[in-house]
Amino acid sequence: MKAFRRFTVRVPLPDRIADLAPLSHNLRWAWHTPTQELFATIDPRLWSSTGDPVRVLADTDPTRLVELADDEGFVARVAEAHADLEQYLDAPQWFQRYAAESSGQDGSAHDRVVPPGIAYFSMEFGVSEVLPIYSGGLGILAGDHLKAASDLGLPLIGVGLLYRSGYFRQGLDHDGWQIERYPVNDPADLPLTLLTPGDGAEPVIVEVAMPGGATLSAQVWVASVGRIPLLLLDSDIDRNDDEPEGAALRAVTDRLYGGDQEHRIAQEILLGIGGVRALREYVRITGRPEPTVFHMNEGHAGFLGVERIRELVAGGLDFDTAEAVVRASNVFTTHTPVPAGIDRFPADLVARYLDADSDGKSRLLPGLAAATVAELGDEADPGVFNMAHMGFRLGQRSNGVSQLHGAVSREMFADLWPGFDAADVPIGAVTNGVHGPTWVAPAWRDFADGDEDSAPEVYAGLSDETIWRTHEELRAELVDEVRRRALASGLDRGFTHAELAWTADLFDPHVLTIGFARRAATYKRLTLMLRDPDRMRTILTDPDRPVQLVIAGKAHPADEGGKSLIQQVVRFTEEPELRDRIVFLPDYDISMARFIYAGCDVWLNNPVRPMEACGTSGMKSALNGGLNLSILDGWWDEMADGDNGWAIPSAEGITDEHRRDDLEAQALYTLLEETVIPLFYRRADDGVPSRWVEMMRHTLTRLGPQVLASRMVRDYTTDLYCPAARAYESACADSYAGARDLAVYRRTLETGWSSVLVAGVEDERREDGLWITAHVALGDLAPESVAVQVVLGRVGDDGEILAPTFTDMTPGPDRDASGRVVFTALVPPSASGHLGYTVRVLPRHPQLSSESELGFVRFPATTG
Ligand SMILES: *Cc1c(COP(=O)(O)O)cnc(C)c1O
């Protein structure tokens, strides 16, 4: 019988262990081993089956809790864990020191502004497996961002959606075809608190207008991720039933990436617009400082920008000034170089949601012209609204997620800055990182007592033997986990225990273990390793130097191609001679990921370069001493150093993708056969592969610190959040004088830039260098409000200036006969060889983050 309705009864905890409640409720336990051990003590079996403190407390027999309340040792551990949590939540951290430094309190003078609050919006957050509101890399990254922000003491607030079914749980049918299950999350069973204005008060409800006069309502849950509040909007409430199409409104937050475009746009509107409204309520209720910096984690969050503009317009600003304020303080991060991965909507769908009234004003964003908002998503294709374009247009600062991805993004979005070379497109890069305390196995973390900063030095001092044995234990744990999961998966697929007896000896704890776990997106090439199945078979089953391979990953429910790749892999793993050496584990998530990263010797990644924006799984492996075997894509492109793993050569020039796959697969096999496998099995008398261990040590000490989320969040703070906070301050000062000035300036550029001309350019070589003169027509612009520059450098065969230097030109006092301003510069000869130069005019304004920001540039009519 199925339950008609479900409900939860909570037995109050005995007083002496009552602090277990806050310990279960703050997700900090997810990266605090002593707290995890505390919950494991309560009921080891419940803990290992759920990994969830809230469930452990709810499902443990009350008599057991009474018994524990009498156990002095246990009571002391609860008190200690609770004291540790309190101290963690309050103690000044890196951010507080950085802020003190910035304000000159420590005696040093800095010209920095630190934000009093930062809002971080994301469609998904992967904080813990108990809160399944993530699908993969993007969500885990957002989760790691919050955790590191908490550790560093940032005043950050996360904003997202609470999906009733989250992302799907993956199973396999008898034939190895992916099946999707959508377990329902009951918020009562999750570590969440409903946002209310006070105890016993009605929950806060956020409203967003929907087409046709309907109203979408959502309540707001708050999760505590250490010291970071994470606000999650939830539309599954009775109030929506009163609306026409109420069921659809309720269902807006039913699933992550589950519906059609209509469903998705409603989600993104709720996230961006509803999210800002929820944030305002939260700040009002808690008295926290208002965030001045807003971070859009991918284009999904782009609507937050227009909602912020709406607020300012409602407060009396004109659109342009409001836009200048919002741009100054928005940070936009793009996450994909795959065009299909960019979030785009049909323009007419967006228009329907913007819902213009007879005056052209949007009902979704009262006070704003629907057409003006629609333009923010313009792209080359006129029928499309591009969320990434809106993100770039409404974020004065933007970045890709690795150095290579920054460069690829500058190319990919160069259209937004016409006239600029890709190199000058103002998109920067902050390379992703992963949260150490979450992803470093306790066995490694314990060496340095959990102190990330001293870990490299401590690892450097460990003996080869210690490093190797530590890793071997983690590999053995992985083997146990593989067996357990393979059996469970086999049973789930309908095989019998008898048929699955072999899983008891699946894998060998002493064999070279390679991991490959990632979404089954085409560019990630799940099946590249099967390109030559015979060769792979030989590698896996070598009697003397065998290899075992653990594979995991979900395909998007609508991606039949991805599912068929998974099936191909599953079928390969079922060959009788291979099944002990290669396994596909369904339902890749955080709980599985931890075992694989910690236990594998080698982490394999073979995307089609440069489609992997960053990739983070290899970083997690590296933090546990795993060696990466990867195409030079994403983070690996900048961090591979020859001693921390191996680069699979990529055949990028080859346009025939089959041939490219063949070549890269062969390169992979050859690396395995000739380099990786021999090195792993080259043992001294004590059984330790010393050269291998040397590479592990190098990885732990040198690569480890670079791939941490704490490094990433510090980079965001110093390079983006603080400059944005400063820009916001100067935009808002003196009743928005700065923003107003910039808005007026921008309008002047928009109307007057067409009159800007570089008319005559002359040069003269003298003793002291090259004197260059340019006659520049400026229309209504003053000479101080533009930058006129000489761009000089070697010239390539095609006439392109390579690696140019830029020299500002100085305006003369007089104008020429045609009213043009005469600019001059002396450029000292910097190089020999074939040189060339040109002159360019750019906007210049103190409120701009860069001269290319607004996309205006003018060159001489013909460059010779
Ligand atoms: C780290 C992680 C990912 C992302 O890995 P990529 O290398 O970026 O593909 C996806 N899923 C889980 C469960 C992870 O832990």
Res. 137: pLDDT tops 70? yes
**Pair 464, 567: CB distance under 8 Å:** no
What's the whole-number average pLDDT of the chain? 95
Nearest CA to ligand 1 atom 9: 518
Instruction: Give me the mean pLDDT over the 489-511 stretch.
Output: 97
Nearest CA to ligand 1 atom 3: 137
CA 551 / ligand 1 centre spacing (Å): 13
pLDDT in tens, 437-468: 999 999 999 999 989 999 999 999 999 999 99
pLDDT at 106 (0 to 100): 62
Please give the span between the terminal C-alpha atoms of the chain, in angstroms, as a whole number: 83
Res. 669: pLDDT tops 80? yes
Cβ neighbours around 533 below 10 Å, total = 14
Taking the CA atoms of residue 10, residue 16, residue 18 and residue 22 in that order, the dihedral angle to the nearest 10 degrees is -160
Pairing of strands 215-225, 228-234: antiparallel
pLDDT in tens, 197-255: 988 899 999 999 999 999 999 999 999 999 999 999 999 999 999 999 999 999 999 99
pLDDT in tens, 819-843: 999 999 999 876 678 889 999 999 9
Report the atom number in ligand 1 closest to the C-alpha of 594.
Answer: 15
pLDDT in tens, 322-379: 999 999 999 999 999 988 889 999 999 999 999 999 999 999 999 999 999 999 999 9
Distance CA(756)–CA(734), nearest Å, equals 31
pLDDT at 40 (0 to 100): 98
Instruction: Give me the mean pLDDT over the 149-163 stretch.
Output: 98
Per residue in 433-461, is it b (16+ CB within 10 Å) or e — as a string? bbbbbbbbbeebbebbebebeebbebbee
Could you tell me which of 154, 148, 144 has the C-alpha nearest to residue 124?
A: 144
Pocket test for ligand 1, best of 518, 594, 603, 606 (most atoms within 8 A of CB): 518
Q: Report the share of the chain in percent with pLDDT over 90.
A: 90
Q: What is the DSSP string of 178-206?
A: EEEE-PPPPGGGSS-EE--SSTTPPPPEE
**Pair 434, 144: CB distance under 8 Å:** yes
Sign for the CA dihedral angle at 647, 652, 657, 662 comes to: negative
- More confidently predicted of 7 and 461: 461
Pairing of strands 205-209, 215-225: antiparallel
**Pair 231, 278: CB distance under 8 Å:** yes
CA 737 / ligand 1 centre spacing (Å): 45
pLDDT at 104 (0 to 100): 67
Q: What DSSP element (H or E) covers 744?
A: helix 722-752
Nearest CA to ligand 1 atom 4: 137
Q: Work out the pLDDT band at 195, boundaries 50, 70, 90.
A: very high
Res. 714: pLDDT tops 70? yes
Distance CA(253)–CA(238), nearest Å, equals 14
CA 140 / ligand 1 centre spacing (Å): 7
CA 33 / ligand 1 centre spacing (Å): 22
Distance CA(203)–CA(219), nearest Å, equals 7
Res. 864: pLDDT tops 50? no
Report the atom number in ligand 1 closest to the C-alpha of 519.
Answer: 9
Q: Work out the pLDDT band at 601, boundaries 50, 70, 90.
A: very high
pLDDT at 322 (0 to 100): 98
Distance CA(514)–CA(285), nearest Å, equals 50
CA 368 / ligand 1 centre spacing (Å): 39
pLDDT in tens, 62-104: 999 999 999 999 999 999 999 999 999 999 999 999 999 877 6
Instruction: Give me the mean pLDDT over the 543-558 stretch.
Output: 96
Half-sphere exposure of 562 (CA within 13 A, CB side): 18
Res. 290: pLDDT tops 70? yes
Ligand 1 site: residues with CB under 6 angstroms? 136-137, 140, 518, 588-590, 593, 615-617, 620
pLDDT at 830 (0 to 100): 65
Taking the CA atoms of residue 608, residue 614, residue 618 and residue 622 in that order, the dihedral angle to the nearest 10 degrees is 140
- Integer-rounded Cα Rg, in Å, for the chain is 29
Nearest CA to ligand 1 atom 13: 589
C-alpha distances in Å from residue 817, one per residue of 612, 775, 779, 820: 56, 10, 14, 7
Res. 863: pLDDT tops 70? no
Could you tell me which of 324, 305, 306 has the C-alpha nearest to residue 746?
A: 324
Instruction: Give me the mean pLDDT over the 533-552 stretch.
Output: 97
Pocket test for ligand 1, best of 431, 616, 621, 628 (most atoms within 8 A of CB): 616
Distance CA(222)–CA(162), nearest Å, equals 10
